[in-house]
A and B are shown apart, each in its own frame.
Chain A
């Protein structure tokens, strides 16, 4: 028997006894699960976007006004 067909036979044996695949097939039809799954990811994506916008807003603020503000705060305290 050639090595190639030997590999094919072993592959078929594994596929025919794929008990995990059967369990996963049941999950495939669980519409609720997948709907929930998509929503969870999209909520996380939204959070990433909000954080990105906040970071950009911070970066766009001028550096010097922040420093002068800190200095004036410091003087007030003194």
Chain B
């Protein structure tokens, strides 16, 4: 009697199965079954809107970006190589479309100086989490474009460096370096603000509460 107990399916196996499924649908679309595209839309729509939102910060705009990206993918499906990952290809289109949309609208991220720092000395509350979250988001937004892209794709979307490299159209090591440099800059900014807060306020709980307590605890 066969048992599935103890059988582990690796992330790689899941990814391969997913890619194979995508290829099947893509083949159907290529032979004229355009309705098969709805399967790809259903599968990736949430991820695509999420990803677009990370760049444009507006749900309506993120929806537009995702719609445009799917349509571009459909129109250029002939140029897609079946051996590649459709997800990475779609994400590449989404990131580029989001950046172009931002450029078109002349949207500017708020500068680091405007980010809220030094939140109230209290236990972790929803408000504090929001403040810290906004502060960290502002730091991410201020990173150079490629570092920001690598950080967003890795931290929020949990993608592998290989996938990030494909999306960013760069070598694996470059994707990794962009991520590391970006994260290091964020860490330095957080520490710089901690030092600043320490210098201006003697109440230790004040400077520890800006979400940086996690860092300090982990490093001690």
**Which residues of A are at the interface with B, using a C-beta cutoff of 8 A?**
1, 3, 5-7, 9-21, 24, 27-28, 34, 37-38, 40-42, 44-46, 48-49
- Of the four ranges (under 10, 10 to 19, 20 to 34, 35 or more), the interface on chain B belongs to 35 or more
The reply to whether B136 and A17 contact each other, CB–CB distance below 8 Å, is yes
A47 nearest in chain B by CB position? B71
Q: Which residues of B contact A46 (CB under 8 A)?
A: 34
Is B192 interfacial (CB 8 A cutoff)? Answer: no
**Which residues of B are at the interface with A, using a C-beta cutoff of 8 A?**
34-35, 37-38, 41-42, 45-46, 49-50, 53-54, 57, 59, 63, 66-67, 70-71, 74-75, 129-130, 132-134, 136-137, 140, 151, 154-156, 180, 183-184, 186-187, 190, 211-212, 214-215, 218-219
7 tightest A-B CB contacts, nearest first: A19-B133, A17-B133, A9-B218, A17-B132, A10-B187, A13-B214, A1-B219
A selection of 30 A-B contacts at a CB cut-off of 8 Å is A1-B219, A7-B180, A10-B183, A10-B187, A11-B154, A12-B214, A12-B218, A13-B190, A13-B212, A13-B214, A14-B140, A14-B186, A15-B156, A17-B132, A17-B133, A18-B156, A19-B134, A20-B54, A20-B133, A20-B137, A20-B156, A21-B156, A24-B49, A41-B38, A41-B67, A41-B71, A44-B67, A44-B71, A45-B37, A48-B71
Q: Which residues of B contact A38 (CB under 8 A)?
A: 38, 41-42, 45
Q: Which residues of B contact A41 (CB under 8 A)?
A: 37-38, 41, 45, 67, 70-71
Q: Which residues of B contact A21 (CB under 8 A)?
A: 156
- C-alpha gap A23/B180 in the complex (Å): 27
The reply to whether A24 and B219 contact each other, CB–CB distance below 8 Å, is no
A8 nearest in chain B by CB position? B218
Among A12, A41, A46, find the residue whose CB has the most chain B CB atoms closer than 10 A.
Answer: A41
Q: Answer whether A27 and B59 are a contact pair too, CB < 8 Å, given A10-B187, A14-B140, A46-B34.
A: yes
B179 nearest in chain A by CB position? A7
The reply to whether A27 and B211 contact each other, CB–CB distance below 8 Å, is no
Q: Which residues of A contact B75 (CB under 8 A)?
A: 48
Q: Which residues of B contact A24 (CB under 8 A)?
A: 49-50, 53
Q: Which residues of A contact B34 (CB under 8 A)?
A: 45-46, 49
Question: Contacting B219 at CB < 8 Å: which of A6, A15, A27, A40?
Answer: A6
